[in-house]
């Protein structure tokens, strides 16, 4: 798998240094009584982080007795490194990290999965007539460096792709726009918006619909914090799920979106609206187990299936005790289901 902690969800766009959000005024709990928790996201503020911002902006964390230091990610930040070095209490992560923790004997684990579906897509031009992943076999495909050790092994194994197809993915969408035959990796809630803004009709191919059945935007934590501060951890997860439940309704997200735009001026209102709509339409947050167990849900069966898929591609060795890499103790409580 290469460097232990290099696998991040977003390595595709430019970023900025992390900073903290100031909790909203008017909370009913004094600052002296709040438990402080630092949470590091994996990229710059966007709709895909909306539930956390909702929990800050609407005072949900404070209602649960928490002062959340919500830190924005960026290109130069590696959340996993911040977690293992003790510089963040919890991080936004991905399904590969728990397997890495187990493989490398590290005392960290995943405790919730906000995304029930992998949001990674491959985008093509409508005019190209590419209607399936099978039709991409043998054609050049622009992918990120991180995907070479995450999604690519699955695609190579499932569809017979070859490494000779790989092309480096640039920050700019200009190469995609200029080449009608281009096949471009992105995220369902982001790159199609940029293409449509440029007047292009993109065709979207989700790897989740091609058999890549994994969680994403997970929450990782140290085993020590789980053991020593279980009540605080539970309150944080409950508040986070409540924030995501509110944000996904889309009815009262103005304050959260204002915070997102404040800390990421490159995130306009129409792109935030598109991101939320895409997450809804594709069941990114509210599908699979989340439909009956609540946002953040996980199951042993789903983790076992993902591990088996990646083991069979050669990404991980056989025999990993993957249950050491995650815990179901803090989720599946049906929060937000009515």
- The pLDDT mean for the chain works out to 90
pLDDT score at 313:
93
> Does position 21 have pLDDT exceeding 80, yes or no?
no
Helix axes 230-249, 269-281, angle to 10 degrees: 100
Give the pLDDT mean for 85-99.
97
From the list 88, 81, 69, 97, the residue with the least C-alpha distance to 9 is 97
pLDDT score at 255:
98
Candidates 3.40.190.10, 3.50.50.60, 3.20.20.140, 3.30.70.360; correct CATH number of 31-117+214-325? 3.40.190.10
Give the pLDDT mean for 8-13.
34
Q: Is 241 within 8 Å of 247 (Cβ atoms)?
A: no
CA distance 240 to 295: 9
Give the pLDDT mean for 107-122.
98
- Is pLDDT larger for residue 18 or for residue 120? 120
The third-level CATH classification (topology) of the domain covering 120-210 is D-Maltodextrin-Binding Protein; domain 2 (3.40.190)
- Is pLDDT larger for residue 5 or for residue 56? 56
Cα-based torsion angle of the residue sequence 121, 127, 131, 135 in order, rounded to the nearest 10 degrees: -90
Fold match flag (31-117+214-325 vs 120-210): yes
From the list 44, 65, 86, 97, the residue with the least C-alpha distance to 233 is 65
The owner of tokens 């405790």 is 111
For 201-243, how does the pLDDT look when each residue is reduced to its tens digit (9 = 90+)? 999 999 999 999 999 999 999 999 999 999 999 999 999 999 9
Tokens describing residue 24: 């909203």
Question: Residue 169: exposed, middle, or buried by beta-carbon count in 10 A (0-12, 13-18, 19+)?
Answer: buried
pLDDT score at 219:
98
Could you give the percent of the chain with pLDDT greater than 90?
Answer: 88
- 76: confidence class by pLDDT, cuts 50, 70, 90: confident
* Termini Cα distance of the chain: 42
For 251-261, how does the pLDDT look when each residue is reduced to its tens digit (9 = 90+)? 999 999 999 99
For 276-301, how does the pLDDT look when each residue is reduced to its tens digit (9 = 90+)? 999 999 999 999 999 999 999 999 99
For 124-166, how does the pLDDT look when each residue is reduced to its tens digit (9 = 90+)? 999 999 999 999 999 999 999 989 999 999 999 999 999 999 9
- 32: confidence class by pLDDT, cuts 50, 70, 90: low
Q: Could you give the count of Cα atoms lying within 13 Å of 120 in the half-sphere of its Cβ?
A: 28
Tokens describing residue 318: 């056989």
- Is pLDDT larger for residue 74 or for residue 59? 59
From the list 151, 195, 183, 201, the residue with the least C-alpha distance to 315 is 151
Give the pLDDT mean for 185-200.
95
> Does position 26 have pLDDT exceeding 50, yes or no?
no
Domain boundary assignment for the chain: 31-117+214-325, 120-210
Rg (CA), the chain: 19
> Does position 316 have pLDDT exceeding 90, yes or no?
yes
Q: How many CB atoms lie within 10 A of CB 220?
A: 25
- 75: confidence class by pLDDT, cuts 50, 70, 90: confident
């Amino acid at each position: 798998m290469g460097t232990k902690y290099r696998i991040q969800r977003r390595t595709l766009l430019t970023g900025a240094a992390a900073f903290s959000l100031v909790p909203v005024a008017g909370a009913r709990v004094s600052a002296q009584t709040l438990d402080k928790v630092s949470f590091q996201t994996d990229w710059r503020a966007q709709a895909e982080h909306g539930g956390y911002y909702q929990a800050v902006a609407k005072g949900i964390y404070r209602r649960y007795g928490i002062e959340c230091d919500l830190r924005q990610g960026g290109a130069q930040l590696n959340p996993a490194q911040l977690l293992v070095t003790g510089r963040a209490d919890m991080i936004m992560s991905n399904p590969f990290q728990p397997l890495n923790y187990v493989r490398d004997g590290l005392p960290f684990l995943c405790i919730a999965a906000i995304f029930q579906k992998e949001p990674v897509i491959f985008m093509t031009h409508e005019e190209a007539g590419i209607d399936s992943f099978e039709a991409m076999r043998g054609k050049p495909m622009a992918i990120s460096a991180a995907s070479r050790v995450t999604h690519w092994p699955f695609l190579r194994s499932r569809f017979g792709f070859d490494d000779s197809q790989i092309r480096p993915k640039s920050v700019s969408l200009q190469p995609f726009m200029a080449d009608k035959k281009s096949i471009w990796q992105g995220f369902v809630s982001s790159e199609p918006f940029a293409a449509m803004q440029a007047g292009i009709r993109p065709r979207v191919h989700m790897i989740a619909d091609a058999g890549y059945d994994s969680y994403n935007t997970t929450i990782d934590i140290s085993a020590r914090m789980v053991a020593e501060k279980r009540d605080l951890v539970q309150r944080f997860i409950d508040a986070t799920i409540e924030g995501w439940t509110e944000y996904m309704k889309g009815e009262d997200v103005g304050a959260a979106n204002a915070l997102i735009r404040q800390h990421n001026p490159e995130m306009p209102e129409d792109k935030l609206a598109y991101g939320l709509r895409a997450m809804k339409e594709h069941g990114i947050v509210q599908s699979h187990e989340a439909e009956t167990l609540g946002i953040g849900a996980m199951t042993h069966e789903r983790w076992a299936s993902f591990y088996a898929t990646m083991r069979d591609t050669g990404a991980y060795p056989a025999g990993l005790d993957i249950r050491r890499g995650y815990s179901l103790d803090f989720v599946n409580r049906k929060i937000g289901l009515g």
